[in-house]
Structure 1
Amino acid sequence: MSPLAMVLALLGAAVLMFAINRPRMDVVAVIMMVALPMTGVISMSEALAGLSDPNVVLIAALFVFGEALVRTGVAQRLGDWLSERAGASEAKLIVLLMLIVGGVGSFMSSTGVVALFIPIALRIAHTSHIPAGRLMMPLSMAALISGMMTLVATAPNLVVHSELIRQGYEGFNFFSFTPFGVPILVLAVLYMLVARRFLAPGPVPEPPAREALTGWVADYALASREHRLRLRPGSALAGKRLDSLDLRGSAGINIVAVERGSRFRRKLINPRAETVLEAGDVLLIDQQIEAGFDLDAFAKTHDLISLPASGRWFTDTAQEIGMAQMIVPPTSRLIGQTVTSVRFRDIYDLSVIGMKHGTKPVAESLINEPLRSGDTLLTVGSWRAIRNLMDERRDLVLLDLPAELDEAVPARHQAPLAVGVLALVVVLMVWGIVPNVQAVLFGCLLLGLFRCIDMAGAYRSIHWQSLILIVGMLPFSIALQRTGGVEMAAQALLSVLDGAPPRVVLVVIFLSTSALSLFISNTATAVLVAPVTLAIAEALGASPYPFAMTVALAASAAFMTPVSSPVNTLVLGPGNYRFSDFVRVGVPFAAICLVTTVFLVPLVFPF
């Protein structure tokens, strides 16, 4: 068997395994890395060269940026803004959702964007009584189109860019894709305002299965116990440490949290013994204090202002301050002691604001109530402190966590820093001050320095399956070129298109790329099609850029089936879709993308 035949046989086997999804895509990629050197066409070093490819490192670093935007709450704030602005208008909601997802996806993984916005969209759908199916398809479509916005928006863009550089051309600029992505996104918004009527209505999503904080607030009657006191500039409490005041022991006051700063730069402080109060601080006080204690008199004596209570403080601050239900096991050393005597806050960095003996809530003050075996404690504090208790087994056992845990933001106050770092990296990449991968790695270091993300979170954020897939498929490009497979494929297409205008060639390239993406990932498709496309351009004596750009745009136009992209697969269940829904809605818009691409690309990149 000739070397070309062996390479083509391996390629066919890879495509078949991709199509049936057996084994996993990353496993297929590893198999190909091992098998290709056995043909003698490439060496083992060449098969592993993708591991040191700058674009692979760049993609990994971009996953870290996406995680930082999640951890700092930037994405959640966009979701909250979306909910406020759209109200109950389905059309307005679709427009804003697609524009936000398209914009955010320009700088992070489209799969990550969809995973992030699915719970946001479901929550909005539930509160607005809109079927989830009306929002999930626009969400996935906008996420796919976000890959057409910038160079770093999706892996196929970087694959095509890398192939251009490998063949001696200049790569694309950071915003080379934007002139095509923006018009296509606008067309998608207009299209979905009409096409949403063709989607099966489906049921209105139910609330999360895990109980929300509102349920606990009701169970423990917390809403009626909320009090907020602000320190005046001359307050006697200003400048004092909490341990020196001993408010809980002397007055029965349980400070749950301290709000500091203005409304727009508010910081929530978890109260500790060493916390020093400042003028202007707002104290959130749990009302369950000693009988006969006059809170108004206390406020007047210490020059405090009583603020109106909404009854929603616990739920409004759920992205920063969390709750957890703990049970006291028979082995606990806390049995027989009180919350105060055991110094619960000092040890666990959490406050106990509710207690149940069995199923009955304790109505009296918790300060002097001895703990019993089997007691349930409702604790409040930072999500970090709650997570630290997850592995505790001897003295306390974690019983339940609220649904809001999934939306908790561990680094909320670093949001401006995360946005600033992202802006700096974009500037470095746009102006070409340093190589793209160096700019992004520098940004990752800054994110760690500013505590927007920690090392454990950075490693968890990287989608290793996608990286291994790229690394494993890159050697095919070398092998096919070395054996003449790329030239053979290019000549075969040219013979079919003999004498056809360049725009017709773009149509065929777009259709071929889109068709192949139905069976294998769009990243693998870009790896295989890009060198063939550049060979066609060279044979025609034309510029390689319009052909390369067409491949990149077509790779992101994976709207037609639920399995043509992980983005579509993610929304399949939440949207209650059938296979035919993607065909009915996706195929017409893929045709719109084809026409738009063939019209615009030669205008920006002449032949």
Structure 2
Amino acid sequence: MSVELLSVLVLLAIAIVLFVIGRPRVDAIALAMIVALPLTGVITVPEALAGFSDPNIVLIAALFVLGEGLVRTGVAQRVGDWLISRGGEGERRIVVLLMSVVALMGSVMSSTAVVAIFIPIVLRVSQQTGIPKSRLLMPTSVAALVSGMLTLVATTPNLIVNSELVREGAAGFRFFSFTPIGLPLLALAIGYMLLVRRAPGDAGGAPTPARPTLYDWIERYRLHGRAFRLRVEPSSPLANTPLGDVQLDGASGARVIAIERRVRFGVAVLSALPATELHAGDVLLVDVAVAGLDLEPLCERCALTSLPMGGAYFIEHAGEVGMAETLVPPDSGLVGAGVRGSALLAAHGLTIVGLRRGRNTHDYGLENERLKVGDTLLVVGPWRALRALQSDGPDLITLAMPAEGESVAPSPRRGPYAVGSMLVVVVLMLFGVVPNVQAAFAGCLLMGLFRCIDLDSAYRSIHWRSLVLIVGMLPFSLALQRTGGVDMAAQALLDVVGGAGVRAVLACVFAMTAVIGLVISNTATAVLMAPVAIALAHHLHASPYPFAMIVALASSAAFMTPISSPVNTLVSTAGNYSFGDFVRIGTPLALGVMALSVLIVPWLLPA
């Protein structure tokens, strides 16, 4: 063993130990390796930094942006709502639907992002059905990991393995090369989770969230019975009238807080701005701060039709209409102003519907109140208006946003455009019209053009820590190849199982990849194992494709520990899982995935 190889292996061992310890952060470890590797003399500084210009790194960044577009437009949330409506209360049916939907979404967007989206959805399903959350979150994690076995862009290890194939002169995988293998593996995972799922010491249901919910505020400010939906008929004098000129009933306390309007792709909820012109067919969401007010005379005079409510105080509109608790600071221009006459709130399309002063809560009779320093106000209106209020200056301080605000899509009307943009990306990648990175950039530009995402959100959506980790580990592949480390590892594997047949060698590669993935991320595992597997194929004079595929599949089979993937880390806390729960449930599944992969891969990709 040469001095150069020894120095590279020492650095690799240090990196792995630091990954296991968890300190410093993984991106800091990767940056340290970028600094240290050129000092060995094996690679140059430009070679150590070459990962930042690697097309696959840029592709991964673009995929983060595409996934964020699906989140911001509410596509992901709508899928979750569909799951709740279709799943009913049957646990087996919910598990099958949940895993199928998570895997489908994870095949075109970040699996970590999918799990982050579905954790609150799963908790809501748990609350509504009484199914313990731990019986749903583990299947969610498993499905998200298996989603990485469905398409080329589903997970970073697939792209890394594909990049290694291309670097070795092979053609690389196509978009759906993984799908014929991944679908049987998904079916295996679903069947397995139906058999073994159980609650590890969980009493069931989701815990009460630390943050307030909309329903908490409805109870606290006694908003029951104050909400009405009134449709503007074609004969109404309110049609074609700016909202600022509309007086619903003099001093009755009735205020429009939002407007439902039918648009091409469904129903949009508009802010109640003074300049908004009402149209025939609009539905006014009205708050009435006068106890026992009869709206029948108003409806007759203004040709309005009262429509049924679907829940307590517009809670069925929680995807568009929200609330926030705010505080009036000493230097606020609102001090002394009437509760209902705030020009600031009117400019945002927001309405004060509740007031707390000291220990007293005011619900009805707000028309006669004047604001004082220290008043806590409950304001209601579209979510985008509430977010704008947070950054609008010193007149109001936002104290709290409800838990529901975290899962609200900022651009719900752009969902069809986001789906269309994603389909364009898939088609371009599928038929090889342009390189994958160009296809992903085209999708990002389309999402920007259709305002599914803005530039600031796009930059924030990129998980820079993951990208730096990949870039920092890529030079190890080159360093190990130059020093003979890859050939040495390939030869060691060959000496162990070289005469046992292709399937035995593939099983050994799978097992080695999975074991390394127990202690470091599946991304770093793919970086290390892809060149070893391809070199092993060359030693056997075999096709590199089944060997590369096995590494990609094994990298995604990170079921066995909570630290092997961010997906597992997310659900381990939310589901109260222990390290042993992952070992107990994940190990047999990993063995099953290995057996089925070794059976299918050489058949579909002959060696």
Please report the TM-score for the alignment, with normalisation by the length of structure 2: 0.96
Post-superposition offset of 1:471: 0.4
**Structure-1 residue corresponding to 2:15:** 14
In 2, the alpha carbon distance for the partners of 1:194 and 1:363 equals: 52
**Structure-2 residue corresponding to 1:423:** 423
**Structure-1 residue corresponding to 2:150:** 149
* Letter of the 2:479 counterpart: A
Counterparts of residues 536-551 of structure 1 (less than 5 Å)? 536-551=536-551
Post-superposition offset of 1:45: 0.5
Q: Note if contact 2:520-2:563 (Cα within 8 Å) is conserved in structure 1.
A: no
**Structure-2 residue corresponding to 1:316:** 316
* Letter of the 1:489 counterpart: A
Q: Note if contact 1:242-1:275 (Cα within 8 Å) is conserved in structure 2.
A: yes
Counterparts of residues 105-504 of structure 1 (less than 5 Å)? 105-197=106-198, 199-247=200-248, 252-261=253-262, 265-289=266-290, 295-391=295-391, 394-504=394-504
Secondary structure of 1:171's partner? coil
Secondary structure of 1:323's partner? strand
Q: Note if contact 2:135-2:199 (Cα within 8 Å) is conserved in structure 1.
A: no
**Structure-2 residue corresponding to 1:563:** 563
Change (3 A) 1:134 1:341: closer
Q: Note if contact 1:156-1:555 (Cα within 8 Å) is conserved in structure 2.
A: yes
In 1, the alpha carbon distance for the partners of 2:157 and 2:263 equals: 44
Encode CA deviations 1:398-443: one digit per residue, 9 max, x unaligned: 2322121112211111111111111111001101111110111111
Q: Note if contact 2:390-2:398 (Cα within 8 Å) is conserved in structure 1.
A: yes
Q: Note if contact 1:198-1:585 (Cα within 8 Å) is conserved in structure 2.
A: no
Structure 2: gaps of 5 or more residues: none
**Structure-1 residue corresponding to 2:509:** 509
* Letter of the 2:277 counterpart: V
* Letter of the 1:148 counterpart: M
Q: Note if contact 1:144-1:557 (Cα within 8 Å) is conserved in structure 2.
A: yes
Post-superposition offset of 1:565: 1.6
Structure 1: gaps of 5 or more residues: none
**Structure-1 residue corresponding to 2:91:** 90
What fraction of aligned residue pairs are identical, expressed as a percent?
Answer: 54
Q: Note if contact 1:125-1:204 (Cα within 8 Å) is conserved in structure 2.
A: yes
Q: Note if contact 1:242-1:276 (Cα within 8 Å) is conserved in structure 2.
A: yes
In 1, the alpha carbon distance for the partners of 2:299 and 2:283 equals: 12
**Structure-2 residue corresponding to 1:30:** 31
Q: Note if contact 1:272-1:345 (Cα within 8 Å) is conserved in structure 2.
A: no
In 2, the alpha carbon distance for the partners of 1:306 and 1:575 equals: 44
Secondary structure of 2:149's partner? coil
Please report the TM-score for the alignment, with normalisation by the length of structure 1: 0.96
Post-superposition offset of 1:577: 1.5
Secondary structure of 2:519's partner? coil
Post-superposition offset of 1:572: 1.2
In 1, the alpha carbon distance for the partners of 2:318 and 2:311 equals: 13
In 1, the alpha carbon distance for the partners of 2:402 and 2:249 equals: 27
Post-superposition offset of 1:568: 1.2
Post-superposition offset of 1:309: 3.0
Change (3 A) 1:66 1:537: same
Q: Note if contact 2:226-2:287 (Cα within 8 Å) is conserved in structure 1.
A: yes
Secondary structure of 1:306's partner? strand
Post-superposition offset of 1:125: 1.1
Change (3 A) 1:263 1:413: closer
In 2, the alpha carbon distance for the partners of 1:90 and 1:420 equals: 33
Q: Which moved more, 1:305-314 or 1:543-552?
A: 305-314
Encode CA deviations 1:469-496: one digit per residue, 9 max, x unaligned: 1101111111111122211221222122
Q: Note if contact 1:353-1:380 (Cα within 8 Å) is conserved in structure 2.
A: yes
Q: Note if contact 1:252-1:367 (Cα within 8 Å) is conserved in structure 2.
A: yes
* Letter of the 1:563 counterpart: I
Change (3 A) 1:156 1:219: same
**Structure-2 residue corresponding to 1:5:** 6
Q: Note if contact 1:338-1:367 (Cα within 8 Å) is conserved in structure 2.
A: yes
In 2, the alpha carbon distance for the partners of 1:551 and 1:382 equals: 47
Change (3 A) 1:531 1:325: same
In 2, the alpha carbon distance for the partners of 1:389 and 1:446 equals: 29
In 1, the alpha carbon distance for the partners of 2:589 and 2:455 equals: 41
Secondary structure of 1:266's partner? strand
In 2, the alpha carbon distance for the partners of 1:535 and 1:497 equals: 15
Post-superposition offset of 1:251: 6.1
Q: Note if contact 1:324-1:400 (Cα within 8 Å) is conserved in structure 2.
A: yes
Encode CA deviations 1:252-301: one digit per residue, 9 max, x unaligned: 43111111117970110111111111111111111225x89753122112
In 2, the alpha carbon distance for the partners of 1:364 and 1:198 equals: 46
Secondary structure of 1:260's partner? strand
Post-superposition offset of 1:364: 4.3
Encode CA deviations 1:329-349: one digit per residue, 9 max, x unaligned: 333332222134442433443
Post-superposition offset of 1:587: 0.8
* Letter of the 1:351 counterpart: T
Post-superposition offset of 1:200: 4.3
In 2, the alpha carbon distance for the partners of 1:325 and 1:457 equals: 25
Post-superposition offset of 1:87: 2.0
Q: Note if contact 2:222-2:363 (Cα within 8 Å) is conserved in structure 1.
A: no
Q: Which moved more, 1:359-368 or 1:556-565?
A: 359-368
Q: Note if contact 2:65-2:462 (Cα within 8 Å) is conserved in structure 1.
A: yes
Q: Which moved more, 1:242-251 or 1:207-216?
A: 242-251
In 1, the alpha carbon distance for the partners of 2:5 and 2:310 equals: 73
Post-superposition offset of 1:391: 4.4
Encode CA deviations 1:308-355: one digit per residue, 9 max, x unaligned: 234435211112111011222333332222134442433443111222
Q: Note if contact 1:230-1:305 (Cα within 8 Å) is conserved in structure 2.
A: yes
Work out the number of aligned pairs and report it. Answer: 606
Q: Note if contact 1:126-1:207 (Cα within 8 Å) is conserved in structure 2.
A: no
Encode CA deviations 1:29-88: one digit per residue, 9 max, x unaligned: 111111111111111101000000010011111111111111111111111111122222
Q: Note if contact 2:152-2:177 (Cα within 8 Å) is conserved in structure 1.
A: yes
* Letter of the 1:111 counterpart: T
